[in-house]
Every structure is written in structure tokens, then in C-alpha cells.
Amino acid sequence: MYKNAATRVAVLGASGYVGRELVGLLDGHADVALAFATSESESRLDGRDLIPLADAEGRWDDARLVFSCLPHGVSAPAVGRAEAAGARVVDLSADLRLSDRAVYGLTEVYRDALPEADLVANPGCYPTVAVLSVLPLARAGVIDTTRPLIIDAASGVSGAGRNPRRDLLFGEVAEDFRAYSAGNEHRHLPEITRQLAAVAGAVDVVFTPHLLPVRRGILATMHVPLARELTRVEAEAILLEAYGDEPCIRVLPGALPTLKDVIYRNRLALGVMPVKHVSRPMLTVVGAIDNLVKGAAGQAVQNMNVMCGFPETRGLAC
Ligand SMILES: NC(=O)c1ccc[n+]([C@@H]2O[C@H](COP(=O)([O-])OP(=O)(O)OC[C@H]3O[C@@H](n4cnc5c(N)ncnc54)[C@H](OP(=O)(O)O)[C@@H]3O)[C@@H](O)[C@H]2O)c1
């Protein structure tokens, strides 16, 4: 059953963690209707049929906007076919995030470019929390770019997708906690450094992700080298100045966020604490998001809302 005068959208990869989250958000959105959704392994989702990606070929005309929640490498060719058929596209994979062909869909930063965009690269979950958390400090010129910015971030297991993997079995992850891609090897690093470089100039980032045995959520602890001392109130004032009017970002004066502040919400929660007992000034910034919402499907809906001229938070709990 289609909603009246709704914009028709499609979701590629609807059986994955991100795709399922997205379909749920779109179901609750007053201005859109799902034209079709794809999966290779499942045929039904919440009472609707899913079709294989190959069968989308005859259906592109049916959707004005296509969301791709396919794995990287698989996504780009499908995005190309949707574009060729005339659809606008929000790609949630990493395939286009470093490309100048797409608008980078960090909504709060690139909002003005979205209404004209036909192709949007939705940011990665770790880059969303990392970049939004430190960008105001970079813009304020308070980061000492001669020293590295340290980002330690922990993600729930849904960040790794729904495909079965032995190292992600409950028996392997439960009651454990581990770092991965240590030594600055994670594929999200170039996305983070590219975005920070655009406002702060080149800055070294040391990024170490961790696997947290919860279903969803990312907590990032960022140690920011400062060019001058900042009190907690001064640092909070910089973040509040940047984000005080943002509907999807909460700066928490005098507090640090936890995952409970953000789970199931399209929200970044932020707090700061100056670092004591070091020879040069540093600030610890703690940011939290739900990786499946502000880190993926929610931000994609936020981008669609701006692209299509809908109220920015329609269909979202921020
Ligand atoms: N998980 C996160 O927190 C997160 C956050 C931000 C961005 N992302 C990105 O969003 C995308 C989806 O992530 P996810 O975690 O939802 O992954 P996922 O759970 O593994 O889901 C992948 C989806 O793509 C489909 N798919 C896989 N291989 C395919 C192929 N060769 N041809 C057609 N369809 C195929 C799968 O269908 P079947 O299962 O039916 O085969 C499934 O619907 C990825 O690019 C990921 O990097 C993920």
C-alpha cells in the first residue's frame, strides 16, 4: 500500500543490518514509500517481498531515490546502474566516500550541497563520530597540528554486518573486548583525515577501533592536542557555538556521553574534559552515536530529507 503523493524510494541490501534499519525508518516516514528492496538470501522483510539485485534492473524507473546498503565493491556498480536510470542515490557503502563525484553526506557539514546533489556518499560510522566531534575545534584553530590526534573508538558487533563470521560468534565476543586494525590500518582512516584536512590542514590521526560486545553503538574517546590551554567550559563553548542549533547533536555540559544517550536515535552526543598531568595541553573529547542510525541509516534519511526538501528530522528520533 503506497502513501499518497509519496516519493518512491528503493533500498538495495535490505536484509543487512543497515538495510533493515533503513527500511524501518522509511516505513515510519510520512513522505516516502518503498518501491522495492533487495536481498540475495531472504525473500521477505516485515511482510514485504524482497527481490534479488538482478531483478532491480527492470525496476529502477519505479524509484526516484535509491539507497544502497550493499557491501563495498558490490555497491558502486549498482549505484552506477541506478544513476544511469535517472535515480538520485544515497550510497551507504565506502565506495564513493573519497570520490569528488559524490557529495559527502555528513549532513551538518555539507547540508548546503545536498538539495542539488544527485549522488551522496553517506559517511562511515567511525568517521561520523570522529569528524563531527573534533571539527569545531579544528575550525576554531585550537588544535596543535604538529602532534597526533588519538582516536580510540569501540563499536558494537552490528558494525561488522550480518554476514556470519567465526570471530564474531557470541562465544567469541561475549565478555571480551579487543582492539582491531591497530597500527592505523583501518579503512576509515583516510575518510577521517580527508575531512579534517579540509578544515584544519594536514593532521596526523592515530585511529584504533575496538570491538565492544554489545549489539549497537560507538563510543569514541579522542585525545586532541591543543595549541593552547582550554578550560572545560571554554571547550564546551566552542562545541555549543557550532552545534547549539543542530537537532541531531547534543553537547552535554559538564558530562560525558554513554551509549544510552544515543542508542536507537539519530544523535551524536558529545562531552569534553581537559587532560591533567601532561606537559602540553590536551583535551579529551568523548562522542557517542548509534552506528546503525546516525552512523548509517538515520544519517541517510537525514540526507534524503535535505535532498528532497522535507523537514530535516522527519522520520527520525534525534
Ligand atoms: N553496519 C554498520 O554499522 C555500518 C555503518 C555505516 C556504513 N555501513 C556500510 O553499509 C553497508 C551495509 O552494511 P551492513 O552492516 O548492513 O552489511 P550486511 O549486514 O552484511 O548487509 C549487506 C547487504 O548486502 C547484500 N549483499 C551482500 N553481497 C551482495 C551481492 N554480491 N550482491 C547483492 N547483494 C549483496 C546482503 O544481502 P544478503 O544477506 O541477502 O545476501 C545484505 O542485504 C556496507 O557497505 C557497510 O560498510 C555499515
| pLDDT 10s digits, 116-150 | 999 999 999 999 999 999 999 999 999 999 999 99
Closest residue (by CA) to atom 22 of ligand 1?
16
The residues assigned a catalytic role are 125
Residues with CB under 6 A from ligand 1: 13-19, 39-42, 53, 69-72, 74-75, 92-94, 124-125, 158-159, 161-163, 291-292, 295-296
Q: Of how many residues is the chain composed?
A: 318
All CATH 3.40.50.720 domain ranges in the chain, comma separated: 7-123+295-308
Furthest CA-CA distance within the chain: 64
Residue 199 is predicted with a pLDDT of: 83
3-state secondary structure labels for all residues of 251-294? ECCCCCCCHHHCCCCCCEEEEEEECCCCCCCEEEEEEEECCCHH
Distance 18 CA to ligand 1 centre (A): 7
Amino acid at 158: S
- Whether the CB-CB separation of 282 and 224 falls below 8 Å is answered with yes
pLDDT the model gives residue 3: 55
Q: How far is the CA of 158 from the centre of ligand 1 (A)?
A: 11
Distance 15 CA to ligand 1 centre (A): 8
Pick among 3.30.160.270, 3.30.1490.190, 3.40.50.720, 3.30.360.10: CATH of 7-123+295-308: 3.40.50.720
**What b/e string do you get for 96-115 counting C-beta neighbours within 10 Å, with b at 16 or more?**
bbeeeebbbbbbbbbbeebe
The pLDDT of residue 234: 98
Question: Which residue's C-alpha cell is 536515535?
Answer: 265
**CA 300 to ligand 1 center in whole angstroms:** 15
Residue nearest to ligand 1 atom 11, measured at CA: 69
Closest residue (by CA) to atom 20 of ligand 1?
161
Please list, in sequence order, all residues whose beta carbon lies within 8 angstroms of the beta carbon of residue 34, skipping any fewer than 6 positions away.
8, 9, 10, 11, 23, 26, 27, 48
Q: What is the pLDDT of residue 2?
A: 47
pLDDT under 50: residue ranges of the chain: 1-2
Q: Which fold has domain 125-293?
A: Dihydrodipicolinate Reductase; domain 2 (3.30.360)
Q: In sequence order, what are the residues at sequence separation of 6 or more whose Cβ sits closer than 8 angstroms to the Cβ of residue 100? A: none
Report whether 178 contacts 210 (CB < 8 A).
Answer: yes
Residue nearest to atom 30 of ligand 1 (CA): 74
Phi, psi (deg, nearest 5) at residue 223: -100, 110
Domain boundaries for CATH 3.30.360.10 within the chain: 125-293
What integer pLDDT is reported at residue 4 of this predicted model? 55
Strand partners, 32: 7
Give residue 16 CA to ligand 1 midpoint distance, Å. Answer: 5
Ligand 1 closest atom vs CA 17 = 16
Q: Mutation test of ligand 1: which of 20, 44, 49, 92 has the most ligand atoms closer than 8 Å to its C-beta?
A: 92
